[in-house]
Amino acid sequence: MEKALKKRRHGLQIAYVTMATLYIPFNFLLLLGLSSYPSPGINEDTAEALFTAPIIMYFIISFIYVVTFIVLAILNIIQSFKAFNQRDTLFCINGMLILKYGMVIFFASNFLYITLTLLGLGIFGMLISHGTLIFTAPILLPFLIAIILFLLFIAWLIMLPGSIFSIQVIRLSRLEKKIGSASAFFHGLLQFLFLTDVLDTMYLALVKWRRGKKSSIVISFFYLFCIVESIWTCIKIWNVLNS
């Protein structure tokens, strides 16, 4: 009964992480399920309707998905403040760990997905333009930078519920005299920066509160794997470009 109660208490955090992690697979499955092409022998109006309907349905379902995700984010933030007001330290720490560690897979897969998408679009553009696209690079570069900055901003917003939970842990740490005001400010800053937020979460959980040892080990190995894989990929690309 006690375990079930704990699971229910962290239902919002688990739901948020689950929806974020499944977003890319959800898009693929949705596109696959709604892909409908007009069969031979039907008239032009019917063909246009069959082509348009899946697109409209895709945006409707995606809109519902995103709105649900936003509502979950807001509810998580509200719950974190309630937990702090109740001085529920254990709940805040566990909520922080679920949101920060649980979102690592999402951010890693999302980064890979966006990188491959932009790279694929660039290669496709070069192929259909027979290489002339490179001459429009100075014109397209500002738009590309704007897109990347927009995607980074969206990713930063997605990170917010976990960061707010971490802020509550930092506030509780300060109340318990585990950290000072200057240290609290520094930890708070790290919680709103990519990569450093997870490392700071690890420090707060392990060093200050002696929590999350097993999950921290898993995330450390995952971080190490990503670093090694990134270096290896960069070396391979460099070798291909210079061959």
Burial 99-108 (b: 16+ CB within 10 A, else e): bbbbbbebbe
How many percent of the chain have pLDDT more than 70? Answer: 78
Examine the pLDDT at 160 and tell me if it is beyond 70. yes
Provide the residue ranges of all domains of the chain, joining segments of one domain with +: 2-211
Distance in angstroms (rounded) separating the CA atoms of residues 57 and 65: 12
60-69, 113-122, 147-156, 222-231: which has the minimum mean pLDDT?
A: 113-122
Examine the pLDDT at 77 and tell me if it is beyond 90. yes
41-55, 94-108, 129-143, 154-168: which has the minimum mean pLDDT?
A: 41-55
pLDDT band (50, 70, 90) for residue 240 = low
Examine the pLDDT at 129 and tell me if it is beyond 60. yes
Segment 51-71 shows an average pLDDT of 81
Distance in angstroms (rounded) separating the CA atoms of residues 50 and 71: 32
DSSP codes, 116-177:
HHHHHHHHHHHHHTTTGGGGGHHHHHHHHHHHHHHHHHHHHHHHHHHHHHHHHHHHHHHHTT
Both tokens assigned to 78: 């509200």
**Please, which residues have CB within 8 angstroms of residue 72's CB and are 6 or more apart in sequence?**
12, 15, 16, 19
Eight-state DSSP code of residue 10: T
Angle between helices 2-9 and 11-21 (to 10 degrees): 60
pLDDT band (50, 70, 90) for residue 2 = very low
Maximum Cα–Cα distance for the chain, whole Å? 76
91-100, 104-113, 193-202: which has the minimum mean pLDDT?
A: 104-113
How distant is the alpha carbon of residue 233 from its chain centre? 22
Whole-number pLDDT of residue 106: 87
pLDDT band (50, 70, 90) for residue 85 = very high
pLDDT band (50, 70, 90) for residue 55 = confident
Whole-number pLDDT of residue 49: 46
**Please, which residues have CB within 8 angstroms of residue 162's CB and are 6 or more apart in sequence?**
96, 99, 100, 103, 197, 201
In the Cβ-directed half-sphere of 145, how many Cα atoms lie within 13 Å? 6
Distance in angstroms (rounded) separating the CA atoms of residues 222 and 13: 21
Residue scoring higher pLDDT (131 or 167): 167
Helix (H, G, I), strand (E, B) or coil at 130: coil
Examine the pLDDT at 87 and tell me if it is beyond 80. yes
